[in-house]
Each structure stands twice: as C-alpha cells, then as structure tokens.
Structure 1
Amino acid sequence: MDTCLPFLRPIATSALLLAVLAMAPPARADESPTPLEDNRRITEGYIQIAYELGGLLDPALQPGGSSSVRPNWFVFAPHASRTGGEGMLAAAIARRMIDTARGEPSLSVRHALDRAGITGGMRLTVEHLAQELVVQGLPIDAAASLASLTTAMNWEALADPRTFATTTSRFASLYWSAPAVLPLDKAESVVLTLERTLHEGNLAIFTDIGGSARLYLGWRRGLTGEVTPERVLTEFSLQDAVPAQARLAYEYGVAHANDTPRPYLLAALFPGMHWKSLLVAAFALYEEARRAPGPAARDALIAMGNNYVAWREQHDMAQPVFTPAVPHADEVSRAALLQALTPMLTTDFGTLEWNYADYAYSQPDRDGSVLTSPPTEYSWAVFWDRWTGILHAFEQAYGAPSALWVMPEPIVDPTAPMSSQPAWSPSGQT
C-alpha cells in the first residue's frame, strides 16, 4: 500500500482544512506544485489505476462502483496516498502556527491552538501533549506546533499513559536535537522533516509503481488477442527487469499462493532479484488470477501479487526515504521522528479502519515489561516493523473487500489557486 505513511485519520480532514484556510497566507507567486498539489494528483492517479486494473479482475466493476473481489495493491494505494496528504496538511497547520508566532507569540497553549482553529475530539489530547512539552522545556508555540502534528492521527492511542509519556519524551528529544538555534526554527525543522518525508515517499512510490502500472495498462490496451500471463512474461518489459527473474517469481507465486503464511520473506526467496522483475511477475499473477477457476484461487493469486508489489514499495522505495544515506542538514532524524509517530499510525481503507496500536497490542510483548506499551516498541522506520504491520493490514482488509472501494476524496491544497491544480491526466508518462 502506497505510503509511505498510511497513518492519518480522514475524519479530521474538514477541521484541518478549515484551520489552514483560517491561517492561509496570500496566494503563492510561484507555480511549482506544493506537496499537497502533488498528493492530490497522485491520489487521483491511483484511483484511475485501481478501477482499470480492478475491472480486469472483476469485469462487473464499473468506475465509481464496488467489488467483492479481493483488492489488488492499487486499490489500497489511494487510501494510503490520501492519508499521507493529511499528514502534509497537518504539517501545513504546524508551519502556519510557527509563522504566526513569529509575528505575535502566543500567551498560552490554549491561545496557540485557538488561533490555529484546532477543535474537535482531538483538541484535549493535543492540548495535553503540548502542555507536557512545555513542562519539558519547550516554548509555548514550539510545543503547540509539534503537538498539532498529531491532529489527524490516532490520538486515542495516547490514552495509554505509557504511550503518552514515551511520545512526549520522543517529541522533546526531536526538538532539542534540531539543528537550528532559535526555538521556532527548531520546531520548524521537525515539521519540515515530516512534510519532506511524506512528500518524497509519495512521489517516489507513485513514479515507480504507479508509472509501471500505467505502462502495463497502456501496453495491455494496445494488444490484440487474448492476454495471458505468458504474454506478460515474454512481451511486457520494464526498465531493468530481467525476464528470467520475473518468470521465476511468477512460477513461485503460482505454486505457493496458498501457503500459510503466504510467502513474504522475499529477499531470502529471491536473492539478487531486481525489484522491477517483481513488478512484472505481479502483473502476470494478476492476469493468472483473472483466469483462475474459482474465487479462492483467484484471491490467493491476487494476494501473492500484492506481496510482490508491496515489497518493492516498502523495501526499495520507502526505506531509502525513511533512512536516507545522507541526511538533510536542516532536518531532524527521520527515523527518530517516525518512531515517535508509530504508536499513532492509522489509516481508513474506505469504511475499514486499521491502526498500528491495535496491531502492536495483538503481538507478543517484545520486552516483557509492563512499564512500556507495545506500540512504543516498534518503529515505522524499521523495515520489518513496517512490513509485518502492512501484511497485517492486508489480511484485515481482505475480510471486507468492498470496504476499500469507498474511495477517498483527494485533498485540495486550500492555499493554492484551483488553476494550479489540474486534474490527473492518464496519458502522462514517467
């Protein structure tokens, strides 16, 4: 599932949009797309791919409709992209809070949150977190802006006092580690790190996996005659994919799609395999699923293809974004920031909610100590913590396939003119 960070709560988006509008600066003079504008186009692009590919697996599916067939990876992707956009929206609120404070410092945490327009069910939790950050030495506006990053997240996870205490400590450590000198600059460094991480991951994954799907669907539309997995393996290619590797992965997927657990340790299964070969194999598996003799066989093959695409997404695209080889000089540690956010990660797959806290509580306690909450023992920046959590989300969603076809509304950047936000064009190329 695309994301870079599938964690935010769509229920809070209206309040967030109103908050940004209330604090919005004048229209931008430049024409370069904002992170939210990019996110809108990406979410729309994923929705188009989801319906075209979904229609191959379920011929009865119509644009805007629903299906009971197991969702392919691209049905998950619009929801994850949308929730990543909500993270960028929360970052926009935090940055506007910081800009406002530069002109007029807040008199209290409540004052800072009031003029940011932060209301609703999350208000008490955000206020409590901000006040605790003040106790740990952060200035009022810095504390309020950092606490506001949780506005669209699973703030209910902070009801566990152990999670709350650890999260407060981690946010404070991020602030003190920021490379800036002035308090508001230090807070902005943390906010900028989140915005960049979400934006870069969103772009990288869509450019690679979304672009590959568009190339595949375009290739498929140009064919005459029956489309078979064999034709995919012999006639379709992606740059850097190795046909022999794609065939090996496809044949393994067909043979082991019904294994329990479904194969997921892909680096051990296919040492040295190029990532693009896995994508070709996934498209071949989706074609095999389309021709399967029954729903059970079809769904197993779709899930196997999903694992191949998700591995490529997380192992090869998201991981370098989360743990860059050369950190930005004006950022805090991306890994440390993601660890602080992990207990509150959540996403709504249409009408189905998944959150990391519930996943962590369902697993064996890692350190065996009652003094630490299980969600704080994981980190979204660690590949295996993220990978096993995503597989858990997949399995939960497979039990309610039609839920995912309640597609999200792409977020519109409230600070940008509509003329700078063109609708997604399916004819574009990567």
Structure 2
Amino acid sequence: MSKKGIAAAFVAAALTLAACGSSGSPAPSAGGGSPEARTLTLWHYEGKTSAMGVAWADAIKKFEASHPNVTVKFEEKGFEQIQKTAGMVLGSDQAPDIMEYNKGNATAGLLSKQGLLTDLSEEAAKRGWDKLLSPSLQTTARYDERGVMGSGKWFGVPNYAEYVMVYYNKDAFAKQGIEVPATYEEFTAAMDKFVKAGVTPVSTGGAEYPAQQIMYQLALSKAQRPWVDAYQLYKGKVDFHGPELTYGATAFADWVKKGYVAKDSAGLKAEDMIVGFISGKFPVLVSGSWLYGRFGSDVKKFKWGTFLWPGNQMSAGSSGNLWVVPEKSKNKDLAYDFIDITMSKDIQNELGNAGGVPVAADPAAITDEKNKELIENFNKLSAQDGLAFYPDWPAPGYYDVLVSGVQELINGSKAPDKVLDDLAQPYNDNLADIGN
C-alpha cells in the first residue's frame, strides 16, 4: 500500500548478478556435465493486471533467461490466505523459497521474532539494496529482536511503494457538477450531493481491509507525526479515546448514517468494492495505489482519476509489501537473485509505467501521464512526511480486530466509544507482551 531512493547505475539484471558473483549461477553437476536442474518456488498475491503482477511476471522471465537451469514455480495466493496461514506454513516443509508478505509489526515483524524469516542484512549490503531504499522505506524492511519495525536486521525487501488515495468517477462528478474537492468540507459536500441524487457515493468493503483504512484516514485528519510514531512504533502512549481515534470512529459511523457508505458493506470484501467501482455503481473508492494498474486496464465505462485525501497532512502508506525469504527456503541463493532482478532499473521502470510506484526507477522513463501523476502525488505525500503506515500493523491479530470493529460501526451494533475500548485492549496487551 515512502517511496524514495535512486539507484546507482544499474546494469542489465544478468550482468549485475554475474558481477556480484551470484550464487544462483548455474553450477556444474558432479560429473562435469549440464548444470543440475533447480526450482524456485515463489508465492505472491498480486493480480495479473496490477502493476506489480505485470512487472513481476516479466521479472520471472528475466530470471529464467539468466538462470537457464532454474524453473520458477509461481503459486498465486490470496492476501487473506497468506495473512492467516503464514506462521503455520513457514514453520513447515511446505514453505516456498520466496514470498510476498505484508510489512509491519503484526506480520513480518512477528514472523521475524518467531525465527521464520531469513536475515537479509548481509545480502542487502552486498547487493546495494540498502543504497536503493531510503531510510523511510527501510522502516518496514528492518525489525529488532521484539519484532518492532524501524531498526535492527533486514528481514524483507520492498521493491515498490504505496499509499491510500481517493479514486473517483470523473463522469459521475461532472454529471452532478462537482469539482475535485480541495478540503474535507468540500469532500463531504460532494458526497452529500450524491446522496441527494439517490447515489451511495463510496464503494467499500467492511469484511476486509478497505473500511478500516477509511476510519484511519479520518483519524489521521486530526493527527500529527508524534501520534503516528506512538501508535505504530511505540514511541509514546496512545489514548484510544483521544481526539484522533475518537474522531475516526465517530466520523466513520456518521458516514454510514449520512448514506456515504452502504449499510450492507459490512459483509462485502475488497473485490466486491473494486467491482462496484469498475461497474460505475459507486463514484468514489478509497483505497491504495495497488489498484491503479487494474483500474487502468479494467475501467471501460467512464473516465476516472485520483486525488489525495483532502485536507490531510498524512495518509496511510509506506513501502510496498516485502519480498521475504523463509528460513526453511531450500534455494535462498536463487531467492536473493530474484529480488535483485525486481530491483533492477528495467523492472522498476516497467512497474512505474504499469501504474505502480517504483522505488528505483528512472523518472524520465515513466512515459504515461496518468502514471506520472500517481508518482508525483506519492512524492508530494512523502516529501511532507505524510506516510502513516496502516492501522492494523501495531499488534498480531489486529487486522481481524479492526475488521470486527468497523463492521460494528457499519451495522450500528456498537457505539464508537465501545468499539474503541475493543481496539485498545489487544493493542495494550501486545505492549505488555513485548515489554514496552
């Protein structure tokens, strides 16, 4: 879902690997004949038409071309599937050699603390990943012995960045005479106008991540960096009934009451939200840059655009998800080589032109005007220290806690202050567990 870092001169991937003395180079067989055939098992959960899906498919081709003795066995997994089963799978002999995994204390941090991920610190220094990724992007790549992000060893490598924004249907806005809002007040006024016209403006899904990100965006409208650092990095005490989270929960409940968000969205998943926007049923969708490439290829019925959440200094966002190498990986050398290729200039440029936010592309190589706007908006957010990570990161299992909380706000089954009590308990329990 902090995208910086400019590369030192990149050579073609195969030459880079050779120059590094890559251990993934074809090894002669014991008899001196052809290299032994090997398989790299790779898991990720990006859609085929997403920017990452497109770029990584090409990275697989480049990897196989530079490793003629290796076949990549790609297995597409669902986000929820990996989220819920990673700890069990990575502790077994069924672990892949490399996989995409969600960044943050509750996910990659937890697995690193459990000894399930390979320490990549030496490879990061040897291959120059530490030079390509700016300090802010490295926040989610490094974890201390408690599993807290921001310092310590490298347990993952992001090769893209992401942030939450507002997608909108330009034709629907024009029909109602609505301009792109510059302030939060203009944003809610636009949604009021849609409601009066009989249109539910916001497509969302309460059964997965989307709705909780809206609540977080609302909380961030009242937040400053010290509050984010306290919530995400444990650098201070978090008051769950303070102005930030109180406003987030209360305003989100009001969005439901005012008809901005449909009451049946509590049972909808992210895919339902996406399809609802693509079909033209909803004129607004709040989600991340990871959907940009898909909308570019799948939206056929109307013109669409994006804008940063009006009035906020900060928005949910960070480096993208991580390439991690399970401790039980049988082909770690090949996994490192594959990561290297996804960090190469040509794959980074391709990612940018496919609608992603690359971390090491050549800006002059991004030719699509829409994609340039995506990257420029990210750079604006990053430059103002506006990346606030994601609401489910602070504690293991917190994703499900937040899903339940926003569903109760949508259903009206609990008042905002009671929902905040439910959010506070596991957060504070986690602080006690890690001795903070």
Q: TM-score range by the shorter chain?
A: under 0.3
| Structure with greater helix percent | 1
| TM-score (norm: length of structure 2) | 0.24
